[in-house]
Amino acid sequence: MLQTLANALKVPDLRKKMLYTALIILLFRLGAAIPVPFTAAAGGIIQDTNGSNFMNYLSMMTGDAFNYGTLFAMSITPYINSSIIIQLLTVAIPALENLAKEGEEGKKKINFLTRIGAVLIAILQSTAYFFYLRSGGYITTAADGSAFTGLSAVLQALVIILVLSAGACLLMWMGESINQKGIGNGISMILFAGIVSRIPTTLTYIFGYFSYGGAYYFFAPLALIIMLALVVFIVWIDNSERRLPVAYAKRVVGRKMYGGQNTHMPIKVNMSGVMPIIFASSILSLPPTLKMFFGNRITAGGAWDKFFSLFDSTNWFYGLIYFILIILFAYFYAAIQYNPIEMANNLRKNSGSIPGIRPGKPTSDYIAKVLSRITLLGALLISVVAICPIVFSQITALCCKTPMNISLGGTSVIILVGVALETVRQLESQMMMRHYKGFLD
């Protein structure tokens, strides 16, 4: 990986793209430190910053911007949620499905709809965040200590909501600018930067358990070993692939003979990358977002309080739903990326076939069956990585007085390793393209 980055820096064009990406990430980190007007969250709004609830999840994904009420407190999650909704509607609504098939023009229209949806979701989440800040007393008051009333209170609320929404829209533009002028993978790069900024805090939190003594001398090092093992496991999953054998028939064109060789069609085990994890996490963030609207009206120990507590990341129900959503989104992304009928038609057009399988529909059915099995295997492996820290937290809750809440570690590790591998892969492909001289040289 380090060698790839060093080689990429030697290419002038790639060096400019990498520096531009670094500049955008720097601006993101600066924006994550700029407080929103009329907020008083300099000391943080999360009581237990080492917990594993929804608030700590948002703080992790935003690089602590959510905890301190800064410009990028909403992060890139509105855009991700909008992308999920538009892609689901593309499958369900024929008009959007036709747009997706219209090439570049259709893609531009779908991206426009995604941006509109992201703005609406950003306003919704910013409004929920404002009510949460107000209920917690993190909104500045008048000079005499009284809260703003009437028109002043409305204007104060509008300023906070609009600034937070503008921050989410600015991040959306930053992500797209990385795709256009940077090294690509912009949305994931912003999430990557936010999570990386939390690594020192996480390590300090884990090493802090050594002060408790007793069983923590065993569980604290074990937590670090598990994280390192998950990194190795994710790299292994990402590099794993199923190779379908393909044989090409010989054909004569003019005086030359083409084909006749045997090759393979690679299908990655983790063909969806980190997107199922990101999408599942974003979907599970919606119930706690609703709880932020009605925080003062929810009675402790009541029915609604018990319902929303199910979506705490240390709860077994959360782990179960998280597991199911990862599998569903893995299948959804596989269906978008791979079309067995189109793959079978391309093989037949190039005089290729899978040994033992007849061309046409039998080939497409065989490819569909293989894709289904590979997708299930990849989704199960990724789900195990995501659920493993949650199980570890439950075990420490049974064995120790104070549980080690590292249940968010699986999500962060998958995103970090996945984005790093995808970025290196993109750099390698771009370097290969630039070093290929072509048939005219």
| pLDDT score, position 384 | 82
Label residue 395 exposed, middle or buried (CB < 10 Å: 0-12, 13-18, 19+).
middle
pLDDT attached to residue 296: 62
Residue 407's pLDDT is 57
Residue 370: its pLDDT value, please?
A: 87
Neighbours of 441 (CB within 10 A): 5
Nearest Cα neighbor of 367 from 261, 243, 262, 248 is: 243
Position 363: which residue type? T
Could you tell me the residue ranges of all domains in the chain?
Answer: 1-183, 198-407
Count CA atoms closer than 13 A to 440's CA, side-chain side: 0
Q: Give the span between the Cα atoms of 385 and 372, in whole angstroms.
A: 20
253 burial type by CB count under 10 A (0-12 exposed, 13-18 middle, 19+ buried): exposed
DSSP string, 87-136: HHHHHH-HHHHHHHTSTHHHHHHHHHHHHHHHHHHHHHHHHHHHHHHHHT
**Residues of the chain predicted below pLDDT 50:** 51-52, 436-441
The CA-CA-CA angle for residues 77, 65, 300, to 5°, reads 80
Do 1-183 and 198-407 share a fold?
A: yes
CATH class of domain segment(s) 1-183? mainly alpha
**The pLDDT of residue 439:** 42
DSSP characters over 44-68? -S-S-TTS-SHHHHHHHHTTTTTTT
57 close to 285: Cβ distance less than 8 angstroms: yes
Contacts of 70 (CB under 8 A, 6+ apart): 31, 32, 33, 34, 35, 36, 167
* CATH class of the domain defined by 198-407: mainly alpha
User: For 128-151, how does the pLDDT look when each residue is reduced to its tens digit (9 = 90+)?
Assistant: 888 888 877 788 776 555 666 777
* 99-115 confidence digits (pLDDT tens): 877 777 888 888 888 99
What's the pLDDT score for residue 123?
92
